């Protein structure tokens, strides 16, 4: 083999070796950070959100999520107006929650829509224009006005939920949170009461303390304008 051919073969072997080393390095090195970066997903909205307006209580619960779809419940517990309770089925996307609301109010089932906007700490509810033909509101984000005065805030974990049986066939359903109780009275009234100072037991009252709910152990009673309206209440077994 002449000297020139040896040089050519040597160069060819070197080139082949370089390609082999290059491909081995490409195959064995870690993938780029961009390729391995986790997909950015929106934080879960599951939970219970509670809004308050005077003695009215609004409870929005997101029970399940599947992609942009969700299901939940919405309870509107008004102090002196008709209340409603029902289920939600809809979508959550780009900070907007839009859903059909199937609810019961005064013994009648109806279907309407609801719209909420995500804000720091919870949601605010929106309202839109009434369609003159169907007499219902229409989900059009450009026509929805969101009320920032009432924020549905993510609630703390429920501490306890019990029903008290009282004299005169009355009852109180109480859902206790860390610093608040939501009660439903057998006369149809619902309200959310913050915990206030008490010398004994747990005491919850409205802003002027004209309505006070007392709880100590398995017993409770209600004072309204210094008169006991729910008395000798004990936890229903």
Q: Which is nearest to 114 in space by CA: 104, 103, 101?
A: 101
pLDDT in tens, 169-217: 999 999 888 778 888 899 988 787 888 877 778 899 987 889 999 999 9
| Alpha helix positions (H), 115-226 | none
What average pLDDT is seen over the chain? 80
Q: How far apart, in Å, are the Cα atoms of 194 and each of 42, 118, 124, 203, 211?
A: 32, 25, 21, 9, 11
Report the C-alpha gap between 104 and 233 in whole angstroms: 28
Report the C-alpha gap between 141 and 126 in whole angstroms: 9
What's the pLDDT at 231? 96
Tokens in use for 152?
A: 């549905």
pLDDT in tens, 108-167: 888 888 899 999 889 999 877 655 555 445 567 777 889 998 999 887 667 888 999 999
- Look at residue 6 and give its three-state secondary structure: helix
What's the pLDDT at 35? 37
Specify the residue for token string 């289920």. Answer: 87
pLDDT in tens, 18-56: 666 555 555 544 433 233 333 334 578 888 888 888 778
Q: Which is nearest to 201 in space by CA: 213, 180, 215, 218?
A: 215
Please state whether beta strands 171-176 and 160-165 pair in parallel, antiparallel, or not at all (unpaired).
antiparallel
What's the pLDDT at 125? 93
The C-alpha angle with vertex 132 and arms to 129 and 138, in degrees rounded to 5, equals 40
Q: How far apart, in Å, are the Cα atoms of 117 and each of 23, 92, 93, 141, 182?
A: 52, 9, 10, 10, 24
Phi, psi of 166 (to 5 degrees): -120, 175
């Amino acid at each position: 083999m002449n000297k020139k051919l040896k040089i050519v073969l040597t160069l060819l072997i070197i080139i082949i070796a370089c390609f082999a080393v290059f491909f081995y390095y490409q195959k064995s090195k870690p993938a780029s950070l961009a390729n391995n970066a986790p997909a950015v997903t929106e934080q879960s909205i599951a939970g219970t959100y509670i809004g308050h307006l005077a003695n009215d209580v609004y409870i929005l619960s997101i029970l399940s999520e599947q992609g942009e779809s969700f299901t939940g419940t919405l309870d509107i517990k008004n102090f002196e107006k008709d209340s409603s309770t029902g289920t939600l089925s809809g979508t959550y996307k780009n900070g907007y929650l839009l859903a059909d609301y199937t609810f019961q109010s005064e013994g009648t089932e109806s279907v309407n829509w609801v719209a909420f906007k995500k804000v720091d700490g919870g949601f605010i509810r929106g309202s839109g224009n009434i369609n003159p033909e169907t007499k219902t509101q229409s989900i059009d984000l450009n026509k929805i006005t969101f009320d920032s005065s009432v924020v549905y805030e993510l609630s703390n974990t429920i501490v306890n939920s019990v029903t008290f049986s009282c004299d005169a066939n009355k009852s109180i359903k109480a859902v206790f949170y860390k610093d608040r109780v939501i009660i439903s009275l057998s006369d149809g009234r619902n309200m959310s009461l913050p915990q206030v100072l008490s010398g004994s037991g747990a005491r919850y009252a409205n802003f002027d303390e004209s309505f006070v709910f007392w709880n100590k152990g398995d017993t409770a009673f209600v004072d309204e304008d210094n008169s006991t309206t729910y008395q000798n209440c004990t936890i229903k077994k």
